[in-house]
Structure 1
Amino acid sequence: MLSQFGVTVVTASNGREAVSLVRDDHFDLILMDVQMPEMDGYEATRLIRERFDAVDLPILALTANAMHGDREQSLAAGMNGHLSKPIDPGELADALADWLHDRVEGEGRITSQGVKEEEVGGMILNEEVALPRVAGNVDLYLELLQQFVDEYGSSFHKYEDLLGEGDFEGARCLIHAMKGASGNLGMERLFEAARSLENELKGQTSETISAQNRFKNMLGKTLEAIQQRLVRKNDRL
């Protein structure tokens, strides 16, 4: 799955091998399976953290156990975040975009479809990518599109209101939620615009205004594309 995101992948068969690889080579991100032979992912992370902190080398936990305490245990071991198996491609794309953003600048940006923005630019509404996430159920997909319109159709006005109230964290959380929803529903360009705006909001840089304008413009185009698709409810791929 990772190869489709345009990243170079190195695998380890157990925790000891993972620690050894990190000691001998350079990595931008580690996806750490917590259940491995010889040494589990938690112990491997603790050893890696003796050399690299969470900023220099992000580590995301992978676990098949979606238990309440998994996230807390992962963070306590020194991991930056947590992904549950089976891995959802949209969630994986979000994680890669979040943690590899600064490391791929100038080389293309990871999107929810695993391509570089400079190469193809993405699609406003990519139904072929989104349908597998709903088991090919077109009716469910259209229902989710309508829910997106209902929930986020006026989101930019809400975003502006939050900024006006000085609630920058609330504004960032709103954009983050839209980033996840748009990525899962195949809204490639809106996902990228939301990801860019969220990153600018984290740093409050001089590019925030232009990122806001790009997001507003792409939200309008995406909503228009959704409305056109909903009109064609009888169409099937």
Structure 2
Amino acid sequence: MDQTSHMRSSVIIPGGTILIADGNRTVARVIAKILEKEHHKVHQVEDGPAALDALLNQPLTLALIDADLPKMNAIEVTHLYRFGSVGRAHLPILGLIGETSGEMLSACIDAGLDGCISKPIEPTELLDAVNTSLGIVAEPAAAVETPVGFDDVTEWPAIDPRILRDLEKLGGEGFIEDVISQFVADASRLFPDLSASASACDAGLFHDHIHALRSCAGNVGATGLYKMCLAWRAIGARELASNGSECISKLQAEFARATSALDSYEWRQQQAS
């Protein structure tokens, strides 16, 4: 996590709640479970206006806001909240971002965020970031993603069993089944939008949708799909015009490979229990 060098004092509200503002239900569900296991209360919203309303009206301890939140993103929400909360005790706000570039971090800090957490969410890093923001532990180092080439994706396994085992430790078999089901539902809803944006050569919308798919994949351990989304996250309109249909086909094939591997993992776990 990256934070400003001059941390402002934070007031921990007794019985306060951590806001999770993320339109990606798979990601939000994982974050909520991590925090709840550490005895934090959570309040979840899925778009910018709802996040701003919660910031202004809920007794919050901390807010986690997705950089690409629908309707209003983290920068817009935080800017409006800081403007409307002059005179109040400082509330720590952390952005959830898929890109830890210096430009993005600077924009977040300038808008009034206290720092950023990179996606996909890793439990230890999330909890360290939360504790750091509340003045409990030392600030951890930032995590930086390294892009891979599109052709490199075939070298990656469909799933990472370590992430799935961590999820199971976090919430048990029922939780991991729910997370996998949510991932399949979220990803299935994203593919029509991905196809439409690719057909329209709308690179901006394509980037938004592939970012959402990447977040889903990363938090459920779908390694191949995550790496494929990472490789294609900066595709331009010209490339979409020439390779968009191929991109969608490969993403769909990798999604099918991931769901098959996840089904097999669930079956093996059920047989072992």
Matches within 5 A, 1:170-181: 170-181=205-216
Q: Deviations over 1:42-80 (max 9, x none)?
A: 9xxxxxxxxxxxxxxxxxxxxx9537554699636559x
| Conserved 8 A contact 1:172-1:202 | no
Residue of structure 1 aligned with 2:263, choices 206, 224, 227: 227
**Cα shift at 1:195:** 1.1
- Please identify which structure carries the higher strand content: 2
Q: Aligned match of 1:89 in 103, 114, 122?
A: 122
CA distance in 1 between partners of 2:198 and 2:257 (Å): 23
Pairing partner for 2:223 from 188, 200, 211 = 188
Q: Deviations over 1:135-176 (max 9, x none)?
A: 162321121111112222364343212333554433321211
SS in structure 2 opposite 1:140?
helix
**Match of residue 107 from structure 2:** 75
Partner secondary structure for residue 153 of structure 1 = helix
The answer to whether the aligner puts 1:124 opposite 2:158 as a matched pair is: yes
| Corresponding residue for residue 33 of structure 1 | 3
Q: Greater relative contact order (Cα 8 A, min sep 6): structure 1 or 2? A: 2
CA distance in 1: counterparts of 2:216 and 2:260, whole angstroms:
17
Count of residue correspondences? 163
Q: The residue matched to 2:116 in structure 1 has which SS?
A: strand
Alignment of 1:138-157 (within 5 A): 138-153=173-188, 155-157=190-192
Pick which of 144-153 and 224-233 moved more.
Answer: 224-233
* Distance in 1 separating the partners of 2:180 and 2:109: 39
Q: Which amino acid aligns with 2:156?
A: G
> Structure 2 counterpart of 1:175, which letter?
I
Q: Which amino acid aligns with 2:164?
A: A
Q: Residue type of the partner of 1:188?
A: T
Matches within 5 A, 1:2-21: none
Q: Is the 8 A contact 2:203 2:237 kept in 1?
A: no
Residue aligning to 1:216: 252
Letter in 1 for 2:107: L
8 Å CA contact retained: 1:142, 1:233: no
CA–CA separation in structure 1 for the residues paired with 2:196 and 2:167: 33
TM-score (norm 1): 0.50
The structure-2 alpha-carbon separation of the partners of 1:210 and 1:170, relative to structure 1 and needing over 3 Å to count, comes to same
Q: Structure 2 stretches of 5 or more lacking a match?
A: 9-60, 65-77, 83-92, 96-104, 127-142
Name the SS of the counterpart of 1:171 in structure 2. helix
Secondary structure at the counterpart of residue 96 of structure 1: coil
> Cα RMSD (Å) of the superposition?
4.4
Unaligned segments of structure 1, at least 5 residues:
1-30, 43-63, 102-108, 111-116
What amino acid does structure 2 have at the position aligned with 1:66? A
**Separation in 2 of the partners of 1:160 and 1:136?**
34
What do residues 3-45 of structure 1 show as CA deviations (whole Å, max 9, x unaligned)? xxxxxxxxxxxxxxxxxxxxxxxxxxxx6433x5xxx279xxx
SS where residue 199 of structure 1 aligns? coil
In structure 2, C-alpha distance between the alignment counterparts of 1:76 and 1:145, rounded to whole Å: 31
